Chain A
Amino acid sequence: ETGVTQTPRHLVMGMTNKKSLKCEQHLGHNAMYWYKQSAKKPLELMFVYSLEERVENNSVPSRFSPECPNSSHLFLHLHTLQPEDSALYLCASSPLLRGYGYTFGSGTRLTVV
């Protein structure tokens, strides 16, 4: 365990379903991130939260909706996804000081059918 916990580890959902991914950290970090990792593509930054405020939204389709209720928890709400959204979704956290790197969770493997 890295200190960043993601649930579920695996998720299969239909295109009409609504589901949520959860990320939790108790490292005292104040920044949290969602990344998407697809086969044969670099990790894509999706969202950044700093002190519970969204500071980055990297042109992500509205079918992905993040939520950060407090500095320890981050959610990614999913609805009406497409098969091309199937990927590994990684959550990460970091202190607000530069130079400490990210701590990643184990990821949620999402399959859209």
Chain B
Amino acid sequence: ELKVEQNPLFLSMQEGKNYTIYCNYSTTSDRLYWYRQDPGKSLESLFVLLSNGAVKQEGRLMASLDTKARLSTLHITAAVHDLSATYFCAVDLTTSGTYKYIFGTGTRLKVLA
């Protein structure tokens, strides 16, 4: 059974600090996505990682993908309160004729002023 595990599940951090969220998955996939969800809102696409070694950066967030280790990371640099949200990774299990992502458990991030 495919598992997509994120850790930590909850993260409370001070503004200005750095931290990394991890996404581990148990099957072969070369594509992975990160999403952000604010309370009561939908999911917003953050990063699309399309190959082994891919690294994407947007503002204070940087995502990377290691398909051999089946691991993706979302690194937060100098956190600010606006980054408080729940972050999901999603593994692309698309096969011929079927388009399917499996989402991780989510990491709820709270940045304290």
- Interface of A toward B, CB cutoff 8 Å: 2, 31, 33, 35, 42-43, 45, 48, 50, 55-56, 90, 92, 94, 96, 98-107
Q: Which residues of B contact A (CB under 8 A)?
A: 4, 31, 33, 35, 41-45, 48, 50, 88, 90, 92, 94, 97-106
C-alpha gap A76/B15 in the complex (Å) = 42
4 pairs of A and B residues whose beta carbons are closest in the complex: A43-B103, A104-B43, A104-B42, A106-B42
Q: A48-B99, A50-B99, A101-B45 are in contact. List 20 more A-B contacts (CB 8 A).
A: A2-B44, A42-B105, A42-B106, A43-B88, A45-B102, A50-B97, A56-B98, A56-B100, A92-B43, A94-B99, A96-B99, A98-B99, A99-B92, A100-B48, A101-B33, A102-B43, A102-B45, A102-B101, A104-B44, A106-B42
- How far apart are the CA atoms of A92 and B103 in the complex, in Å? 13
B41, B92, B104, B105: the one within 8 Å of A98 (CB): B92
Chain A residue numbers with a CB within 8 Å of B99 are: 31, 33, 48, 50, 55, 94, 96, 98
Query: In the complex the two chains form, is A99's CB within 8 Å of B98's CB?
Result: no
* A101/B97 contact (C-beta < 8 A), A42-B104, A106-B42, A107-B42 known: no
Which residues does chain B contribute within 8 Å of A31, judged by CB atoms? 99
Chain A residues lying within 8 Å of B41, measured Cβ to Cβ, are: 106
A-B contact pairs, 11 of them (CB 8 A): A35-B103, A42-B106, A48-B100, A56-B98, A90-B42, A98-B31, A99-B31, A99-B48, A99-B92, A103-B45, A104-B35
Chain B residue, CB-CB nearest to A50: B99
CB nearest neighbor in A for B48:
A101
Cβ of A105: which chain B residues have Cβ within 8 Å of it? 42
